[in-house]
Amino acid sequence: MTTPDDRTRLEIAGSGVATITLAHPPLNIYDLQMRDELIEAFAAVRDHPDVRVVVLAADGRHFSAGADLKEFGTADGVMDARSIRWERDPWTPLWELPQPTIVAFHGYALGAGLEMALLCDIRIAADDTTVGLPETTLGMLPSAGGTQSLARVIGPGPAMPVVMLGQRYDAEEAGAIGLVDQVVADADSAARDLAERIARADPAAVRAARRALRVAVDLPLADGLRRERLLAAGLRRDQNDVLDSS
């Protein structure tokens, strides 16, 4: 049950689609409370037997303008600030979710807001979206997985100016360099429709396909093909077991 003070909201539909909504408008700034709630939400959908797809969305005019930089000012020192950031890390639990993840964003998706989106499998942006990693303009580094996830999404070369210059991109520009997969008028509706379609597919096959695709950029081709064959063989065994028991 959510309260007016909650920073997030989790809803699970009967179709198997779970929606995690950032609910701290107008900018949906990440603070410690939001990070704690996201960790809890990711754990809840990870362990839910009926959740087949996860959608990330946001209330208000903006998806997220990033992390609350005032957090670092309240720590006793640089090392304490970094410790706070990593101990409250929701990014690894998001990346390790077994279900496919879709993010629907609009307005600002900056800094940690964009980094969160980069850890999702599919990114759908409304046509009013502005994205960017401005950390270097503040003398910082995108350290919520931004350098690693961005390089995997658009490639190391194209990622260089995005990170080094810290500039902003509108939705069409982001689509042109592969930062977003779709640009639409209503990102929430498009993400929900896509999630419903994926949820109707065979869940074991969807998860196997996702696992194969995720390692494709990190493994040599021969190893990737071997992983693909193993996953396919596992699916066939499961299907045969079902047939044998029927």
Annotation says 87 is catalytic: no
Task: Tell me how far apart the alpha carbons of residues 30 and 65 are, in angstroms, rounded to a whole number.
Answer: 8
Backbone angles phi, psi at 170, to 5 degrees: -80, 180
The pLDDT of residue 118 is 96
pLDDT at 144: 83
pLDDT of amino acid 160? 94
Strand ranges (DSSP E) for 127-221? Answer: 130-132, 168-170, 182-184
Does the pLDDT at position 55 exceed 70? yes
Q: Using 50, 70 and 90 to split pLDDT, how confident is the model at 246?
A: very low
Reply yes or no on whether the pLDDT at 117 is more than 80. Answer: yes
Task: Name the 3-class secondary structure at 226.
Answer: helix
Q: Which of 87, 115, 172, 196 is catalytic?
A: 115
pTM summary value: 0.89
The answer to whether 115 is a known catalytic residue is yes
pLDDT 10s digits, 61-104:
999 999 887 765 555 554 555 555 556 689 999 999 999 999 99
Residues in the chain: 246
Helix and strand totals (H; E) in the chain: 11, 9
Of 135, 173, 196, 228, which residue is the catalytic one? Answer: 135
* CB burial string 155-186: b at 16+ within 10 A, e below: eeeebeebbeebebbbbeebbeeebbbbbbee
The 10s digit of each residue's pLDDT in 133-188 is 999 898 888 888 889 999 999 999 999 999 999 999 999 999 999 999 999 999 99
What digits encode the pLDDT tens for the residues 120-133? Answer: 999 999 999 999 99
Mean of the per-residue pLDDT values of the chain: 89
Phi, psi of 142 (to 5 degrees): -60, 105
